Structures are given as structure tokens and as C-alpha cells.
Structure 1
């Protein structure tokens, strides 16, 4: 029997599997215990906090099994089990099992025996991909657990990724949380002071002169300076918020811009630069993690569609950007005998595909096309040559042509008239023929009822917008099948109306990075084809709006996951959801006829832009490396990916987004355990989409362009 000691059991694999190394897959995931015992404290064993939160058995001399459900398949590499200080702990052995095809199987070599040692370690002889694990404690006369963490195939150093639970944030001045980058002059402009215990006076101050330009009063910790509209529309002047208080004195925010289209204009270049740098093989690293056109991309990461939408929303700005992509130099690099890319998961065909792109496909029509157009062609050309992919992050579907890959062709085809001067018609025609062949084969004419997990792979309704775009393409090409695409969109939308309960977050924020696929599709149908829309569509859209508003009544104007304990999606880094949400809300704002709903939706939409620009409990911007291409960021995300030069190498690219506060930091706990910090192409894809819908909503371009694009 061991008493009064903090014992750490470590179970680890010695191999490395990219994305899933050093990620705690158990954090805040669903846990069950058999037999049923002390379930009210069961949540404490995977909350990321040790010492102060302890689960302790009530039975003596019993066997216990803990089942942790990850909600998606992951390759599991090990576990840390923290046993508490000053507690008597005794059990015979512990063993690990994984769930596969309806049965539990033992990890090979996955058993350890408790000894009078601070550290027990075991190396499993074989990895396993699974959606849940079972941890069995045998003959436990006394069992107490402070924390369990379950890792990918590389187990981090001891005590990694947990907090002691006794830290308390004591502010020395007011915490003035504001979008530290840019505010659009005619848009909602709000900030939060979570430390305020009264409705304090605040001022908007010009940074250069320290002159007060606007005065207001906090209400329930929120300040609203929407009416502040500087006379000079200048990108050279900055402003900040100053809060007055007799206790803390003056407390100032980070400075920010206020100007026309300031949000978009400070983001366009970094948005394009990210997509450039993150390209497989020809970007900042000679690799193709995941085997797709963008490193760490997958069939659902939406890179090409997001760029098509962003380009269509403001072509002029992208036409004026300096061209940095040199097709001929990239071709020479890839076809050189000395080119030697690194080997990465799921990249087995990547080298042959990109070599074929530069050797088999005709050269671009215009070698000096804007970067964004060259990248759209790059992504579509890659999939034209081989649309088969395999998501490396534990996806049970394996290698296949996914329908969401085929959907990307629809966006390219629809937008083609806008960039036909840069891309040949023969290339377009090859894509068209490929699309028509694969659309039916991959089930895109059918109603898709699969509801994805929080990973974000299979958002329901993802086929609605692509089918409507293909309807326009088919009409433009005088195809007899045009109505099949409209019918497919109709049937899928009708299924959503009849089967989706917006009060269940698994349909909304629970779809994480993919939620915009559904909401923008529904809004597009209602906005552009009301005469063809299923009965009840507008009512369904308004119901989504009301639920969003209900979940956003807090000092951050932040759409919560639920009103129980979860502000954000349990366990996951949901930066991509926050970044993509404004596209959802603004698309609906352009549809709803209820002014009160519209005004509040717009306010919440801009609040989410503010959130990833710093209006959050840490006051940090979403980027971990803001020096790489970002404008106006004074404080970036401080908890980046601890791994370097691994996986997709997105820490090497400009414009990479990273993470944002999770439930552990809300409503105001800056010292709460941070969510996993790691960039992902889909985060930036969602930012592209939000920039597009900002332009549509603010009238820089008309949303009508998504129904009838001018044919040049």
C-alpha cells in the first residue's frame, strides 16, 4: 500500500504519428464508470486539473473500469494517471483496452502492476486507432484518481498539459478586452471589462494625441462605442479604450484602428499569404502532410471554396496584390531530380500528383495571374489529377473519393467566368467533365443523413450550396441535368428542416469548424431561390437565429455551446468555429425579415471577429506567431503548439491562426487551462469565408453574385 505520495503511471508508445502526438484526447470527454460509483465527481478525472479535484472510490476491494469516449477515432499513444497526495491508494494492476468493431481488445503489453515507485512505465508493442478506451483497475481496495490524460503516439514529459488547480488570477488593473486590430467604421463596436463591478465611465482616446474623442458608460461589463465614427478615415491613426476607476485608476486597452473596411483590409494579405505558404511541396516546407494540396488539409477543409468566395467578394483588391507565386520556378523545383520531400502520413501519392500537375497539365493561361487565382487552380488541378484522399487523423473511411472533395469543383466551376482570363477553357472543361462524372458516383444527388462528430468531418447539409452552384453551372452549360442539382438541394434542405433540432448543439457549434457549410447553404437557398425553397425554410433559419441569440446573452456577446457548463465545444480547440461563425450570422442577417433578430445577429457576428482579435478572457489574438504577417497585433496567443518542425509545419507560415480560450477560461479565468494550440488550414479557410461574407453584408460586393455571376 502506498500512502502520501503522488504516483504517476505512464503508458507510452515510442513511435510518432504527427498530428496526434502530445494532444490530450481525454480532456473533458465523456467518462463512464463501471460499477457505478461516485459519479458526481467523475468529471474531475479528466478536467486538466490535479490535486484540488479528486475522484475517490466509495467501495472497497472492487474492480473498476473507466470508459473514455473520444467521439472520433484517434491513434492512442499513452496515458498519464495522476494519483493524489495524502491519499491511500492500493490496486493490483491496471490495464488498457481499445474499442474496435463493437468489441474490446487489449493493448498488446498494456498492463502495469502497482509497485512502491513514483513512476511505472510500459511500452505497448502495437498502436491502435480507436474512438474510446477502457482503463481497468483490478482488486482496488482503495482507489483515488486526481487526473487521467490520454495522449497520441508520443507521450509528453511528465506533468505536461495539466494545472495544479490552486492558481487564482489577481488583476492589478482593469482587464480591458477589445478587438486589438481593427473595427469597421459603420459596424458594431463593443468591448468587455470582466473586472468591472460597476458601470464605470470609459473613453475612446486617440493614441497619437491622448485626446478623448468619445465617452460612454459600461453596462453589465460591456462598453459599446458603435457611435464613435472618427472624421478621418485613416489607417495611420490608432485609438484605445481608457476605463476610469477610483480603485484601479486608469486602465487602457491595446490600440486599434477604426476605418472603412478596416477588418478586411488588415486581413487580406495575411489570408492569401497563409494559403500560399501552406501549399504542399511548394510552400514553406517540402512536404504534403495528409496528401492534399494544402498541408494538413483533408476532404472537408474547404480551402478552394473559401478562396473562390473571398475572390468573388472583392476581385479588385486581389487583382492589385503583388504576385509572389512563380509558376516556372515551382515547376523547375518539383521536376528536379534533387527535389526530396519528407515522408508524411497519407502522402503516398502526393509527389506523383504534383509532378503530374507541372508536367501533364497545360501551363496556366496567364503566368502572372494573382496569387489567389494561381492557388485556386493549384488546388483544383491537384484533385483533377487524383481526387482520392485519406484523412490521417484517425478517419475510419480511409482512401476514397469523398463527396466533399468533389464539391470543391462546384465552387471553381461556378466562379470561372470571373477568372477565365487567367485559366484556360480547356482546363475548365476537364474539371466540368470530371465533376459531372463524380457527382452522382459520390452520392451528391442523394439526401445525406450522416451527422458528423465534433471533429468536423461530416457537417449535415454540406451539399446544399454546392448543388445550387452546380444548378447555375448546368444552366450556363445548357445541360439537361440542371434540375437534378436543384432537386438535390431542395431534398437536402427539406431533410434539415424536418430533422434538425437547433437546441441540440451537435447540429450547430458541435459541428465545430464545419458549421458554416450548413448555415450559409440554407441562407443562400432562401436568399436567391425563395420561389424554389422548401416550406418552412425561413422559419427554420429564424429559429437558428433565436437560439444563437439565447446562447449569446453574456458579457462577451459570445455564442456558447450550451447554458450549463460549456462555453465552448468540450475538449476541442474551436478557433475555426469562432472564426467561421460570422459568415453564418451575416448570411442569415441578409435573409431574415425580423429587424430585431437581424440587428442582434450582426452585433454577435462582429463580436466573434472581436473575440479572435482579442476580446476574450486572455486579451490575446488568435495567432501564436503574429509577427508572421499580421497587422496590429500587440498580444498573440501565448500557448502555441509545443511541437516544432513536425506534422504540417504550419508554425513556419505567415498568417497562421492558432487557438482561443475554452470553457476553462470563461467567463473570466485567464489562468484556466488553455486549449491545444495548433494551426489548421480549415481555420484560415473559415476566416476567408468570413471575410467574403463581410464584403457581401457591407455591400463591397453583392450576395447576388452567388446566384448570377457576370459572364465576361
Structure 2
């Protein structure tokens, strides 16, 4: 005990966390000789003091008496022997209302850590006088627990545990003080870094990581270095050096960001599926994806990804195989897809299938179906016609139904009629962003016209009235209308910009000015050393709240580029658009390490993303979504206290991956592809040359290809293969014979995210 108390005192001196609780007693399902339950609460985390159960094929349990009722934040669990044989699967339960209740965020599966921090989220209020470890899988049927440390609720939550391992996060002292995108930069795009400890006027250089002469020189201004003009064509790594500091090495290449993230983005959506992903047990409040609730926005984002850059997704390896439903009430109403369908199409099918099979009627879930229906012309090569018929009839039948089919956790919707005017502004939970119904109604308008429905205009009018209300009533200076919506903010601006871009002659008066005003606020609040859009014009950088879980915001940072890119499509001021482009990349860069702690938002980034050295501080084991073992999880982001520059704060605030964070990144990939796509046509003799520039050059040593849709005269659309002009070219070309005087039209991408060219 003396050793433990000395270590504890040292720990508390260095942190702001409250002291752990001291339980009064413990009992267990069984105990080996000299290894009683009391040794799991004696303050000794060594192998010399352990509770060890007798061998059994039945669950073991350890009950801990706190002596009085208290609100709890989480626990540290030390188990196993030396660095082996930890508890493999267990759930932490609390005594409430005369029975043991599971803590959903504390269900641990496939654990390999002998020291594990388990934080309790807000799903249940863990106020109790007793905890129990319900242990379902151990090495050789024997539970070995060295210590359970219990942390009371407080502003700082649960500290990291000494010795916790999935991998090892980089110590903060080892992270270089030049902060930039650790992986690399896109050729021809903004390339900026932050050096908070260096004064303005400091010279910096960019040189090969392996040594050599400086290839670019510049000067710091407002702690920012800009080497956007440096666009090398070779494939070596580079570093930034300034006043004795040296950055991590990085690459510069064609669509480097897309190259290292496209497959990863799809991998996450595959792994995070409910029932059929890499964790198969049911998860509370989950539908198509684990922990998605009703505001996962999956089809809101997967469909735009497909529309914006189809060739990139068509050429990916197929990982998903259709699984027959083990319960027909969960999925299976939609007939299976073709085996050769791209994984992103299979994911879109999955999302729609779960909604119609389970009869989900929340307005946000119904809205997802608009994306499926709109994209049908480009999904149908892979999906049975029955899919469209089922989804169409379901969506049109229930679109204006104000009733929900069940109680949805975190529901902020007053009713569920998607044609109704929405005048409420949701909370920072992100479950009710302004204007969420605009784009779904515009998509349903197009679907209804395609179906020749006499009521098509009502969908347009619903979107119009919503946009007009927002023009008149939203104040962008109020953080709750922008960054205060966290990961869901993108819906507000992409919806407004969609309206103006697709229906410029029918848009409400003042829409362009409203989008311009939003951009001005973003630019004003981004005038800082990180090029980072702050929460407000004062001292607030990120949203915070009264609970330890408030707020983690990777999704807002990674979803902002989508809104910025959507706005750029309809704004005309060159200076504004140039600054918005800088901010697009500065926010991607923030997620990749250009932030006050110098870490990528994903704990596993060093093992999953080419070129990343320093991942997030930790990951959340367990949790509602059980995402610890999913690929490409966005775990955490810097909190308000880290800004403007306080890396010494270390690992503070809530860390937990969430599908909502990843889909926000995904929608930014979609709008980035749209922004980067160019298509041109020119005649050469009796041929027409079709030239495409799009994010498809991911292998710099291979001639890659894509597919452009072409239409000669009034004929049908036909695919045309285009190939890179050289292995590391940004341009792909194809040729076809077209008689003089015959018009040709070409398109890359689909629907509202396509680029077109015509030649008469």
C-alpha cells in the first residue's frame, strides 16, 4: 500500500484528475488459495497481489463494494500475469434498482491489454455503491485481476492508465515542434505548417529528409510557414527545418491525401457495420452502423462519395460478401447485390436495407433513402430492380409522416414530417443541424420528377421554404449555427450550396449572400497560427460542456472541408475562394498533426496511414460501438484547453471513435473529388479526345484507368475507358470517332457531383 500511495501522490501532483476511490470490500465467484478478492482492491498493481479465480467454463465475477453511493467516471483494470493472460472479455456492471445493470460503454471484447482504462460514457448514469466485473473469457478459464482502480465522476474523466497497450502512443516530449501534416501534401495545393515556439521572421527551409541542399526557403509569419509554391516531381521524403527544429518527414504527390485515405475510409465503413462488421453482437441504439443512432448520416455521405469519383471506388478490392440475415427483422428485405458490386455500393445497399427492414421512421433515417433513390440510375447495374421499388414505396409513403416508430436516444426532432418547416436549432450533440432537410427534399424532387409524380413540386417547395427561413433567421455569429453543431455542420452548408448551384434561377433571394456571410465568419475565425476555424470570436476554440464527454470533435474539423468546398462552388470572389482553399487543407492537416499536440486524430494512424508517425494519445476500449479494432477510427482531437498552444495539457477530455466522425471525413473526400475533377473535349482529325483530370493517380508507377460516360448526338450514354497519359500523370485520356457536325457530351461522376463537357 505504501508504494502505491507514493505513486498515486506523484500522479496526482502532475495531473488535475481527482483521486481514485478506496473500496471497502470485495467478493468473487471463487478464489484460489492465497488469492482472495480483497487483493484486487488493495492498491497494489503488482503480480504479487492478485485475485485469481478457480478454473471454470462459467463466467467469473468480482464484486466491489464502495461503501457509499457515488457517481463514477470509469475504472482502470490491471489483469493477467506480467504482460500476458489479461481478461479477454468482460463487462462492467453497476448495482441499480435492485439488480445488476450492464454499462454499455464498458463491454470489452478481445482485450489484449494487461492495463486498461475503461471510461463510462453518458448512455447510463453510473451512480452506485457497487460495481461488478462480469468476466466471460479468460486464459484457460482462470480470471486474474491485479487491481481495479475506480475513478469518481469529475470534469477530467478517467486518466490514461500506466502500461496500457494496444500499441504505444508517442510521448509528447518526442513530438517535433514544427507541426504539419505528417503524411504529406497534395501537389499544387496549399502546404503550410505551424511553429508556435519560433518568432516571426525566422527563416525556414525545406530539404530532402535524407539530407542535401535546401530546395525551398521562406520566412515565418504569425508562426506560420508557407511552402505552397514547392511542387517537386520526385518521390522522396522532405522535412522542414527552422532555428534548429526539424519536422517529421513527409511526401508531396498527386492527390496524396486521397491516395492514403480512400481505401481506409471504406475500410472503416465496412468494419463498423452493425451485426456484420468486425464486431457481431447487438449494440445499443445502433441500426446500420454501430453506435450510429438516428443521425449517422451514412447514406448522406456514402452516396456522394460514389457520385463524385466512381472509378476510384470501382477499382478497389472487394471485401464484402453478402450475409443472409440471422434474424429477418434486422435486414434482408432488399434482395442481395451482385457479387462484383463495388464495396461502396454494397455499403449503400446495406444502409437502405436496414432502414426498410426494421421499419425505421425517424426523419433522419427516412432522409437517407433519398440518396439511395436519387443515385439509383448509377446503382442499378449492381442491384436488383426490387431494391428500388421497395425503397421508393417506403420513402414516398412515410416521407411526410410526423410519427416515429420508436423512442430514439438523443432525439431532438419535434416531429418527423420531412416536408415541414424546421425552425429548431439543435444542440452540440449534432443531432439536429439547421437545414438538414434541404438536400434530401431536393433529391426527392428529382426522384419524383423521374417517377412523373404529380406531387413532385411539394418536395422542392419544402426545400425552398427551409432555405428561405434560414436566410431570414440564422445568425452565423451564433456558434450554435456553425461549429457548435459539431460533426453535423456540413449538412447546413452543403444543403444551401446544393440549392444555389443546382437551381440558381429558383433559389430564394439572398441565398448567395447568406453563403458568403458564412464564409466571412469562417475566415474571420480562422485568423490564427493554426489556420483553424474557432468556435467564436473570443477565447473559445472548440465546444466544451459540463460533462467529461463534452465534447470530442474530430468530425467537425474533418467535415468542415466539405462545407468550404461546397461554398467555393457558388462564391465568386477570388480572394475569398483562395482563403477557403487554404482552410480546406489546413483542416485536413489539423487531423493529420498540424495541431497543438502534433498528433493524428487516429490512435492507429502510424500503423494504417502511410507516413504518419504520431497517433492520438489513446483509443477507447469497449464503448457502445465497439470500434477499438475497426480500421481507420478517428479517436480524438485537441480540446479547447490545448489551444492556442498548450501541448503540456496532454491527454485531456473525451476520446472515442464514432461513425459520425468518419462520415464527416468521407463527405469531405466527396466534395474534394468534385472540386478536383476537370473534363475537356477536343477534336483531332476524325477523333475526339476526351481528357479527364480527377483523383485517380494513386499508384505513381502504374498507368491507371477510369471510366467516362459519353453520349454521341441523342444516343444513349456509353462508357469510355480513359487511361493515364503517363504512370504519374494527373490526366487520363480516351479517344473515339465522332463525325464532324455531331455533338458529343461527356460526363465524369454522377448527378449533382458530376462534371460535364460538350462539343458541338
TM-score (structure 2 length as normaliser): 0.67
**1:361 and 1:679 mapped to 2: Cα distance?**
29
Q: Which residue of 2 aligns with 1:566?
A: 540
What is the CA distance between 1:414 and its match in structure 2? Answer: 0.9
**1:306 and 1:319 mapped to 2: Cα distance?**
17
Q: Describe how 1:666-685 pairs up with structure 2 within 5 A.
A: 666-672=643-649, 674-685=652-663
What is the CA distance between 1:21 and its match in structure 2? Answer: 9.7
Q: Is the CA contact (8 Å cut-off) linking 2:304 and 2:753 kept in structure 1?
A: no
- Choose from 76, 79, 104 the match for 1:18: 104
Q: Is the CA contact (8 Å cut-off) linking 2:591 and 2:637 kept in structure 1?
A: yes
Greater alpha carbon shift after TM alignment, 217-226 vs 559-568: 559-568
Distance 1:609 1:563, change over 3 A: same
Q: Is the CA contact (8 Å cut-off) linking 2:310 and 2:749 kept in structure 1?
A: no
**1:581 and 1:371 mapped to 2: Cα distance?**
26
**1:428 and 1:513 mapped to 2: Cα distance?**
30
**2:178 and 2:334 mapped to 1: Cα distance?**
54
Q: Which residue of 2 aligns with 1:543?
A: 517
**What RMSD over aligned residues (CA atoms) do the two structures have, in Å?**
3.0
Distance 1:20 1:486, change over 3 A: farther
- Whether 1:75 and 2:77 are equivalent positions in the alignment is no
SS in 2 for 1:215: strand
Distance 1:387 1:580, change over 3 A: farther
- Whether 1:284 and 2:278 are equivalent positions in the alignment is yes
Greater alpha carbon shift after TM alignment, 498-507 vs 299-308: 299-308
Distance 1:352 1:628, change over 3 A: farther
Q: Which residue of 1 aligns with 2:460?
A: 486
Q: Describe how 1:450-599 pairs up with structure 2 within 5 A.
A: 450-570=424-544, 571-599=550-578
**1:704 and 1:521 mapped to 2: Cα distance?**
19
**1:311 and 1:402 mapped to 2: Cα distance?**
25
SS in 1 for 2:367: helix
**1:470 and 1:7 mapped to 2: Cα distance?**
55
Q: Which residue of 1 aligns with 2:343?
A: 371
What is the CA distance between 1:633 and its match in structure 2? Answer: 1.3
Q: Deviations over 1:94-120 (max 9, x none)?
A: xxxxxxxxxxxxxxxx9xxxxxxxxxx
Q: Describe how 1:183-198 pairs up with structure 2 within 5 A.
A: 183-198=185-200
Structure 2: any 5+ residue segments left out of the alignment? 1-12, 22-69, 73-93, 96-100, 109-120, 132-150, 163-170, 402-415, 545-549, 678-693, 696-746
Distance 1:322 1:173, change over 3 A: closer
Q: Deviations over 1:130-157 (max 9, x none)?
A: xxxxxxxxxxxxxxxxx994599xx968
TM-score (structure 1 length as normaliser): 0.71
- Whether 1:689 and 2:667 are equivalent positions in the alignment is yes
Distance 1:547 1:315, change over 3 A: same
Q: Which residue of 2 aligns with 1:339?
A: none
**2:516 and 2:130 mapped to 1: Cα distance?**
54
Q: Describe how 1:67-216 pairs up with structure 2 within 5 A.
A: 75-78=124-127, 122=129, 149-150=153-154, 175-216=177-218
Q: Bigger relative contact order, structure 1 or 2, given CA contacts below 8 A and separation 6+?
A: 1
What is the CA distance between 1:544 and its match in structure 2? Answer: 0.6
Q: Is the CA contact (8 Å cut-off) linking 2:366 and 2:395 kept in structure 1?
A: yes
What is the CA distance between 1:216 and its match in structure 2? Answer: 1.0
SS in 1 for 2:239: strand
**2:376 and 2:537 mapped to 1: Cα distance?**
44
What is the CA distance between 1:291 and its match in structure 2? Answer: 3.1
What is the CA distance between 1:583 and its match in structure 2? Answer: 0.4
Q: Which residue of 2 aligns with 1:262?
A: 256
**2:513 and 2:417 mapped to 1: Cα distance?**
28
Distance 1:20 1:406, change over 3 A: farther
SS in 1 for 2:561: helix
**1:20 and 1:449 mapped to 2: Cα distance?**
37
What is the CA distance between 1:200 and its match in structure 2? Answer: 1.2
Q: Which residue of 1 aligns with 2:711?
A: none
**2:237 and 2:558 mapped to 1: Cα distance?**
24
Distance 1:617 1:710, change over 3 A: closer
Q: Deviations over 1:463-491 (max 9, x none)?
A: 00111111111122212121111101000
What is the CA distance between 1:634 and its match in structure 2? Answer: 0.7
Q: Which residue of 2 aligns with 1:663?
A: 640
Q: Which residue of 1 aligns with 2:266?
A: 272
**2:465 and 2:455 mapped to 1: Cα distance?**
16
Q: Is the CA contact (8 Å cut-off) linking 2:593 and 2:599 kept in structure 1?
A: yes
Q: Deviations over 1:312-367 (max 9, x none)?
A: 1110011111111122xx33xx54xxxxxxxxxxxxxxx4434x51xx54232x11
Q: Is the CA contact (8 Å cut-off) linking 2:568 and 2:577 kept in structure 1?
A: yes
- Choose from 400, 423, 427 the match for 1:440: 400
Q: Deviations over 1:658-679 (max 9, x none)?
A: 1111111111111225221110
**2:212 and 2:276 mapped to 1: Cα distance?**
47
Q: Is the CA contact (8 Å cut-off) linking 1:526 and 1:591 kept in structure 2?
A: yes
Q: Deviations over 1:277-315 (max 9, x none)?
A: 111121111123223111111211111221111111110
Q: Is the CA contact (8 Å cut-off) linking 1:551 and 1:560 kept in structure 2?
A: yes
Q: Is the CA contact (8 Å cut-off) linking 1:623 and 1:637 kept in structure 2?
A: yes
Q: Which residue of 2 aligns with 1:322?
A: 317
What is the CA distance between 1:691 and its match in structure 2? Answer: 0.3
**1:420 and 1:363 mapped to 2: Cα distance?**
12
**1:631 and 1:577 mapped to 2: Cα distance?**
23
Q: Which residue of 2 aligns with 1:707?
A: 752
**1:414 and 1:158 mapped to 2: Cα distance?**
46
Q: Which residue of 1 aligns with 2:631?
A: 654
Q: Which residue of 2 aligns with 1:218?
A: 220
**1:19 and 1:323 mapped to 2: Cα distance?**
32
**2:275 and 2:530 mapped to 1: Cα distance?**
41
Q: Deviations over 1:522-552 (max 9, x none)?
A: 1111111111111111111111111111111
Q: Is the CA contact (8 Å cut-off) linking 1:11 and 1:123 kept in structure 2?
A: no
Q: Is the CA contact (8 Å cut-off) linking 2:597 and 2:647 kept in structure 1?
A: yes
SS in 2 for 1:76: coil
Q: Is the CA contact (8 Å cut-off) linking 1:288 and 1:296 kept in structure 2?
A: no
Q: Which residue of 1 aligns with 2:246?
A: 252
**1:158 and 1:472 mapped to 2: Cα distance?**
51
Q: Deviations over 1:483-540 (max 9, x none)?
A: 1111010000011111111101011111111100111001111111111111111111
Q: Which residue of 2 aligns with 1:46?
A: none
What is the CA distance between 1:217 and its match in structure 2? Answer: 1.0
Q: Is the CA contact (8 Å cut-off) linking 1:190 and 1:224 kept in structure 2?
A: yes
Q: Is the CA contact (8 Å cut-off) linking 1:387 and 1:406 kept in structure 2?
A: no
Q: Which residue of 1 aligns with 2:604?
A: 625
Distance 1:475 1:448, change over 3 A: same
Q: Deviations over 1:428-463 (max 9, x none)?
A: 111111110111113111111121111111111000
Distance 1:706 1:211, change over 3 A: farther
Q: Deviations over 1:139-192 (max 9, x none)?
A: xxxxxxxx994599xx968999xxxxxxxx997996100011121112111110
Q: Which residue of 2 aligns with 1:407?
A: 367
Structure 1: any 5+ residue segments left out of the alignment? 23-71, 79-109, 111-121, 125-146, 161-168, 336-350, 389-400
Distance 1:288 1:211, change over 3 A: farther
What is the CA distance between 1:646 and its match in structure 2? Answer: 4.4
